């Protein structure tokens, strides 16, 4: 038996790039944080205002149009947070302060790989506090047209099952299902890049989006081909990136999810609506604390949730 403890980073580490939508240069720095802190964003260099710190939870979501945007009463502070959140969640980091000196997280190569590398450079350490989980108690479903999202109980950990369906010969219908734990996240999800369609570029630019997009950070799909000369990293890279986004968006539950998430034709809006529906039903979830687990032959990261004790506290709507 071993105690399942919360984690944080061993040291701080920084990386720089541009925002995919803003096109602005930005530096993002990961810092260690105490047990119980969770993931928080510290936005610095806000013109005419003091630095602002916000929690990475669903209450801080201000927009989900083309990315997940976090903010507070003063307005949006950090856009395109989902890849950063996916890396932290996928590698099992419970507590971290993410300092960012611009309005949008750097897109890097369009995946979570650079954030994974930065976290690896900093290192992950255990803290003297038990990990807490948001445990799904009953099925919750959200539908938007023919798209849907569904959360169901799953005591083994966090399972995602994502299907996309695009009327394009290069994409079509793709599905991926996996348990979210560090080894699987690194191998199957982290390197999958964001994608867009050439036909939408002018519309996005005129609306102030995709100003920093390029073939170095986005898979660009034309009418009959992929414009990126290096091709795909996975045959089904498109759905793998949608799974990456879902992992990042659902990291805003406030604690690692014990449950299974299934989505069809989903995106940031649907992922956020799914969390809102879950939290709105106080009979659908609770918070549990991991006391100990039996070391299994196969390491499962967040999926190693056997031995959970009674709820720490019941869900409420406060």
What are the residue numbers of the active site? Answer: 268
- Measured CA to CA, the distance from residue 219 to residue 221 in angstroms comes to 6
């Amino acid at each position: 038996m071993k105690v399942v403890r919360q984690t944080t980073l061993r040291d701080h580490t920084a990386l720089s790039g541009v925002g995919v939508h803003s096109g602005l240069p930005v530096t993002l720095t990961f810092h260690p944080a105490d047990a119980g802190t969770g993931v928080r964003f510290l936005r610095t260099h806000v013109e005419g205002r003091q630095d602002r710190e916000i929690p990475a939870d669903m209450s801080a979501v201000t927009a989900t149009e083309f990315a997940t945007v976090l903010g507070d009463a003063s307005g949006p502070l950090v856009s395109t947070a989902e890849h950063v959140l996916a890396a932290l969640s996928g590698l099992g980091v419970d507590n971290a302060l993410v300092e960012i000196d611009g309005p949008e997280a750097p897109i890097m190569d369009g995946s979570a790989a650079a954030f994974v590398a930065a976290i690896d450079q900093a290192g992950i350490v255990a803290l003297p506090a038990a990990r807490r989980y948001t445990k799904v108690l009953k099925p919750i479903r959200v539908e938007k047209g023919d798209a849907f999202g569904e959360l169901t109980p799953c005591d083994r950990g966090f399972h995602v099952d994502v299907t996309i369906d695009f009327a394009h010969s290069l994409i079509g219908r793709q599905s991926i299902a996996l348990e979210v734990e560090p080894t699987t996240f690194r191998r199957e999800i982290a390197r999958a890049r964001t994608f867009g369609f050439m036909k939408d570029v002018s519309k996005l630019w005129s609306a102030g989006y995709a100003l920093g997009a390029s073939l170095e950070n986005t898979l660009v799909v034309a009418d009959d081909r992929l414009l990126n000369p290096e091709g795909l990293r996975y045959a089904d890279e498109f759905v793998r990136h949608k799974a990456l986004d879902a992992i990042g968006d659902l990291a805003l539950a406030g604690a690692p999810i014990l449950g299974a998430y299934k989505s069809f034709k989903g995106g940031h809006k649907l992922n956020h609506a799914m969390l809102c529906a879950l939290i709105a039903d106080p009979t659908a979830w609770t918070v549990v604390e991991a006391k100990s687990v039996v070391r299994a032959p196969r390491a499962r990261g967040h999926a190693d949730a056997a031995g959970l004790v009674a709820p720490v506290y019941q869900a409420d709507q406060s």
